[in-house]
Amino acid sequence: MSNTKLETKLVGNISGDFFIADYQRGYRWKEEVEMLLNDISEIEEGKNYCLQPIVVKNVDGKYELIDGQQRLTTLYLIQKFTKIYRPKIQIKYTISYETREDSKNFLENLNFECINDNPHNIDEYFINEAATIIKNWFEKFNNENQPKYTDDDDAANDIQTKLNNKVHVIWYEVDAEENSTKLFTRLNIGKIPLTNAELVKALFLSRNNGIDDQKQLEIATQWDIIEKELRNDNLWCFITNEDVENYATRIELIFNLMANKKSSDKEQFRTFFYFNDKIKGEKNKADVWEEIMRYYQKIKEWHENFEVYHKVGYLIATESITLQQLLNESVDKTKSDFQISLNEKIAQSINFNKAYADLSYDNDKAQIAKMLLLFNVETIRQKKDDFMRFPFERHKKECWSLEHIHAQHSEGLNKDEARKEWLLNHKQSLISLKDEKLSDIIRRCDELISKIENPNDKSNVGDIFDPLFTDVVKCLSENGETEEIDTLDNMALLSTKDNSTLNNSTFDVKRNRIIAMDQTINYIPVCTKRVFLKYYTQSADNQLHFWGKADRKAYIQNMNDVLKPYFAIINKTIEL
């Protein structure tokens, strides 16, 4: 079993002899010193403050300081200054340097009243710099209009009191067999800090954990199982919208959820302290671990339940509610009551302050995106095919965007290559209509394509393209309509990756591209695929090349039918 030791310590209780091995550079903090003093000074009443972990290894009764030299040295200097005003203060630790013995003496004999202007080495230079910053920080309050402290004595008393009673460090004592150099490299050179997950793990698996070896082995095994299962992107994207790149270990997300730690939380180690405090209040650490397991098993149960998977997945994807809130609300509910609650939350998520027919691309993109996502999710859920589940991981990874089913504007087509591609695509659609009346339009397309391809003739391409664009769109629009339709009935979800030629294409061109994409590994949202395959339009005279009024009406009718349970809750329907 692990022989690490993990606990929290107040700065005033840090004691022992620390040494810095030769693989580390010396003390280098400057502006960080003032930042630390400001943070300590601003600790609110009833609040605590936690510093980054101090990582040590016990070597023959002394502590090898693997990580935390900068913090521990700065704290030493701050206490040395406050000792001027509080002589009875005891600094209970020393810091020495394996290859720089004079630096220890310099640190201990530093005189704030007469800081040496001629340092003998780089260590002394930075210690002098930090000492000057500390001295100036305390003195500056007398020069401010509304000083925080009356004088240096008052400031020294406040800072030292907070160091003794409010400022904690996470004390992480590693195994005696740990390779110090490799650990230092991982924590510093590689810029991979100790995470909340690593610290929580140490709470359960360190030598002072209070549980037997068999339970430790069980916890370690379950830990690995959870971590492995969370490597399944479908499970991960079901419970969170966070990027996996933010997590060195994915199990940390579970701990963050339990501790209600948000990604924006400034208290970096909130999660660790949540479990640390919880364990202090429990008789048996095994009970706390069992609580973690029950929490995770509930998430797994939801993920495996076809109905709950789709409803919870949608609510999380649209940030309508957090998973933590749902878990809390589910505690006192029966399964049927929980399902009713989910339905109500989904209905509320699309209960906008305007009629759905009035939603516009320019002003209501987020609302339209919610509607279409729910339409896709519910289309799959209501089919009740256990082998077909909505892929939340693809929705989040591939950055689906809101696209016009039939586009009629040329925004973004300002480069010749994009214009050429657009003309080639639409020329094929015009040819497929087999209408002799379109021969002149096709000829104009060929002429402009030739002009674009001619390196010696680039004049007036834009002037020629714009009217030609209008004429082509008119030919490929129902009844020759050229007015852009920015409403819900002309919108679909699609991952186009900023392809302006596709974004600005008419229905027929997009339809051909969607069919081609569907024949490869590309995933097409089910409702988007049905739009371009004319699944919703059942009329006998269905025209495959256009997206017209009948198509839009049928599309909305199907959306009404699919989302009817939620519209019934909020008593709304989509009307055209």
Question: How many Å separate Cα 392 from the centre of its chain?
Answer: 15
In sequence order, what are the residues at sequence separation of 6 or more whose Cβ sits closer than 8 angstroms to the Cβ of residue 328? none
Whether residue 40 is contained in a domain is answered as yes
| CA gap 274, 265 in Å, rounded | 14
267 and 343 together in one domain: yes
398 and 432 together in one domain: no
Q: 3-state DSSP call for residue 380?
A: helix
Query: Up-side HSE of residue 235: CA atoms within 13 Å toward CB?
Result: 20
In sequence order, what are the residues at sequence separation of 6 or more whose Cβ sits closer than 8 angstroms to the Cβ of residue 315? 321, 326, 342, 345, 346, 349
163 and 36 together in one domain: yes
548 and 510 together in one domain: yes
Whether residue 41 is contained in a domain is answered as yes
The predicted-structure confidence for 22-35, as pLDDT tens digits, reads as follows 888 888 999 999 99
On average, the pLDDT of the chain sits at 86
437 within 8 A of 528, measured Cβ to Cβ: no
Q: 3-state DSSP call for residue 390?
A: coil
174 and 56 together in one domain: yes
| CA gap 135, 93 in Å, rounded | 21
Q: The dihedral of CA 503, 505, 506, 511: what is its sign? A: negative
Q: Is pLDDT above 50 for 261?
A: yes
Closest by CA to 259, choosing from 242, 276, 245, 246, is 276
| Domain residue limits at 268 | 213-350
Residue 101, Cβ density class (10 Å: 0-12 exposed, 13-18 middle, ≥19 buried): exposed
Per-residue confidence (pLDDT) for residue 1, from 0 to 100: 42
Give strand pairing partners of 49.
Answer: 167
432 and 555 together in one domain: no
Whether residue 258 is contained in a domain is answered as yes
Compute, in degrees rounded to 10, the torsion defined by CA atoms 488, 491, 493, 496. -150
Amino acid identity at 515: I
CA distances from 188 to 174, 250, 335, 462 (A): 16, 22, 49, 55
Whether residue 206 is contained in a domain is answered as no
The predicted-structure confidence for 431-489, as pLDDT tens digits, reads as follows 988 888 889 999 999 988 988 888 777 678 888 988 898 888 888 888 766 666 889 99
316 within 8 A of 395, measured Cβ to Cβ: no
Per-residue confidence (pLDDT) for residue 144, from 0 to 100: 52
83 and 106 together in one domain: yes
| CA gap 178, 159 in Å, rounded | 35
318 and 367 together in one domain: no
> What is the distance between the terminal CA atoms of the chain, rounded to a whole angstrom?
68
Q: Is pLDDT above 50 for 417?
A: yes
Instruction: Give the residue from 449, 476, 503 where a domain finishes.
Output: 476
Q: The dihedral of CA 399, 256, 299, 209: what is its sign? A: positive
Between 190 and 343, residue with greater pLDDT: 343
Q: Is pLDDT above 60 for 15?
A: yes
At residue 327 the predicted structure's pLDDT band, cuts being 50, 70 and 90, is very high
Whether residue 104 is contained in a domain is answered as yes
Whether residue 481 is contained in a domain is answered as no
Closest by CA to 110, choosing from 145, 77, 67, is 77
368 and 333 together in one domain: no
**Residue 437, token pair as written in the block:** 């009346």
375 and 301 together in one domain: no
Per-residue confidence (pLDDT) for residue 205, from 0 to 100: 78
In sequence order, what are the residues at sequence separation of 6 or more whose Cβ sits closer than 8 angstroms to the Cβ of residue 100? 26, 121, 123
Number of structural domains, the chain?
A: 4
Strands 93-97 and 167-173: unpaired
At residue 192 the predicted structure's pLDDT band, cuts being 50, 70 and 90, is low
Give strand pairing partners of 8.
Answer: 170
Whether residue 199 is contained in a domain is answered as no
388 and 423 together in one domain: no
Report the range of poorest mean pLDDT among 45-49, 231-235, 237-241, 421-425. 45-49
| CA gap 233, 5 in Å, rounded | 33
Report the range of poorest mean pLDDT among 40-44, 185-189, 191-195, 413-417. 191-195
Report the range of poorest mean pLDDT among 255-259, 353-357, 408-412. 408-412
Whether residue 208 is contained in a domain is answered as no
Per-residue confidence (pLDDT) for residue 500, from 0 to 100: 59
300 and 440 together in one domain: no
